Amino acid sequence: MRDQLYIDGQWQAPTDGRRFEVYEPSSESVLTEVAAATGQDIDRAVQAARRAFDEGEWGRSTGKERAGYLRAIADNLRGRREDLARLEVQDNGKPLPEAQWDIDDAIGCFDYYADLAEGLNDDGEVVALPDERFACRVLREPVGVAGQIIPWNYPLLMASWKVAPALAAGCTAVLKPSELTPLTSLELAAAADAAGLPKGVLNVVTGLGRDAGSPLSAHPGVDKLAFTGSVPTGRAIMQAAAQDIKNVSLELGGKSAFIVFDDADIEAAVEWILFGIFWNQGQVCSATSRLLVQDGLHDRLIERLVEETRRITIGNGLQPGVLLGPLVSAGQHAKVLQAIEAGVRDGAKLATGGKRPAHLDKGWFVEPTVFLDAPLDSAVWREEIFGPVLAVRRFKDEAEAVRLANDSQFGLAAAVMSVDPARCRRVSRALRAGIVWVNCSQPTFTQAPWGGYKQSGIGRELGVWGLDNYLETKQVTEYLSDRPWGWYIK
């Protein structure tokens, strides 16, 4: 099935028979070949989703009925957890424990949205009006056909974040995974097929961005676009969506700050700093890649941070004990190394890392890297690198820390560490970010909203907010009185 597209409930060959290669990041070798969709294939997928929504049973299904399918998909994924996790490692490169965690979260996402689907009130909610001659109900209805484009850093999990709430809401979907990591999205299609999902409700179309992603963004049959990825691509998708005034949600880049005050516990701070930037090789939109440390703690914390960074085990994600795998592709590897070189040129002090590990001559590996005293105008401080690169600066007081943290085009996430609850609450309110972590970094829960301020995106995923992404609000107001309205006709 890897060399086929999942369209209208069937595995189908791409229109022109083209394929593209998918690589294993740890060995740089070809893992498999996958179908390369074109605009014609996208049109077939959108038309299938359109029919399923407009003419099929899905558009008229109840939340309870949809919940049954979502739980069946979750059960199928649950039964294949270990195989899916290993496939994710081969496709993406992340360590196996991280991949297992991702698969568990993906399963939990389908279970969670099954519960929300079941709780939808298909009869709507009554709205109290000041005029007793009228009655009003508010209905929440699916937006229609959703075009969904996901990145390569959390392949199955990002697919779940998009597909589960869309199906729960009653939408149909066309999912376009990243060409770098398409394999577990195809397995999601297989799970939907095994669950008996009606044909056309979920379509999974693999292909390159210019050949498949762009036609999906511009297709007039799509009602809603949901995208996670880079700012430039998000901007292009927004421009394409503007032609038809499509409903759009975007989760884009980040350059998140982690503020550590003098009173923080050093060991706890080092642990969360490491997790905030080196988890998933730093290929995390919310990675706390800018570290701000108060003067009194700075030198002692940096000494421990560099020491523990150098101890991180690097290698193939399938090997026991590995905590840092390769970057996802040759292109990403080159980009990160170029960013490190630029940091050195700009005057940041390289404290550790910055190159390929000496013991690994194959695979797209980069040592975990820490820069000190990063200049405020340097790219390593201001631009998203999407790799295991941390930039550090010191600060004097709370006001300076907040100012430096907020001085960014991004506003996805931030973190603050202190034993003073009042200060943590103050700083959390002052930070211009959609997600703020207190005394931790990166915990993500399906029940809580996910999204950012400024150029980090539009809208929220996860929780009830993720379901709202795929629902329209309709008022139905009824005139109840037996008496004529009597405005024109007396």
pLDDT in tens, 47-76: 999 999 999 999 889 999 999 999 999 999
pLDDT at 14 over 80: yes
Q: Collapsing DSSP states into helix, strand and coil, what is residue 284?
A: coil
pLDDT at 456 over 90: yes
Q: What is the enclosing helix (H) or strand (E) of 477?
A: strand 471-479
Closest Cα partner for 377 from 423, 412, 343, 338? 343
Whether pTM > 0.85 for this model: the answer is yes
Residues 6+ apart with CB under 8 A from 189: 1, 6, 175, 202, 204
Q: Are 464 and 116 a contacting pair, CB within 8 Å?
A: yes
Q: What does the alpha-carbon distance between residue 113 and residue 54 come to, in Å, rounded to a whole number?
A: 23
Average pLDDT of the chain to the nearest whole number = 97
Share above pLDDT 90 across residues of the chain, in percent, rounded to a whole number: 98
Q: Are 375 and 232 a contacting pair, CB within 8 Å?
A: no
pLDDT at 135 over 70: yes
Torsion angle defined by CA atoms of residues 215, 219, 221 and 223, in that order, rounded to the nearest 10 degrees: 100
Q: What phi, psi does 86 have (nearest 5°)? A: -65, -40
Give residue 1's pLDDT band: very low, low, confident or very high (50, 70, 90).
low
Q: What was the pLDDT predicted at 136? A: 98
Q: What was the pLDDT predicted at 59? A: 83
Closest Cα partner for 36 from 228, 182, 219? 182
Q: What does the alpha-carbon distance between residue 224 and residue 241 come to, in Å, rounded to a whole number?
A: 9
**Catalytic residue of the set 24, 88, 187, 251:** 251
Q: Which residues are bridge partners to 29 per DSSP?
A: 24
Q: Are 237 and 390 a contacting pair, CB within 8 Å?
A: no
Q: Looking at 108-201, which runs of residues are DSSP E strands?
A: 125-127, 134-142, 145-149, 172-176
Q: How far apart are the first and last CA of the chain?
A: 70
pLDDT at 388 over 90: yes
Q: What does the alpha-carbon distance between residue 17 and residue 2 come to, in Å, rounded to a whole number?
A: 13
Q: Collapsing DSSP states into helix, strand and coil, what is residue 286?
A: coil
- The Cβ of residue 52 has, within 10 Å, a number of other Cβ atoms equal to 25
Tell me, yes or no, if 251 is annotated catalytic.
Answer: yes
> ∠306-265-437 over CA atoms, to 5°?
90
Alpha helices (H) in 346-460, listed in sequence order: 379-382, 398-406, 421-430
SS3 content of the chain, % helix, strand, coil (to 5): 40, 20, 40
* Residue 356 in tokens: 């390929």
Q: What does the alpha-carbon distance between residue 22 and residue 33 come to, in Å, rounded to a whole number?
A: 6
Q: What is the enclosing helix (H) or strand (E) of 98?
A: helix 96-119
389-417 b/e with 16+ CB inside 10 Å = b? bbbbbbbeebeebbebbbebebbbbbbbb
Digit-coded pLDDT (tens) for 347-383: 999 999 999 999 999 999 999 999 999 999 999 999 9
Closest Cα partner for 474 from 166, 140, 135, 126? 140
Q: What does the alpha-carbon distance between residue 145 and residue 194 come to, in Å, rounded to a whole number?
A: 22
Q: What does the alpha-carbon distance between residue 319 and residue 253 come to, in Å, rounded to a whole number?
A: 30
Digit-coded pLDDT (tens) for 171-195: 999 999 999 999 999 999 999 999 9
pLDDT at 2 over 80: no
Share above pLDDT 70 across residues of the chain, in percent, rounded to a whole number: 100
pLDDT at 342 over 70: yes
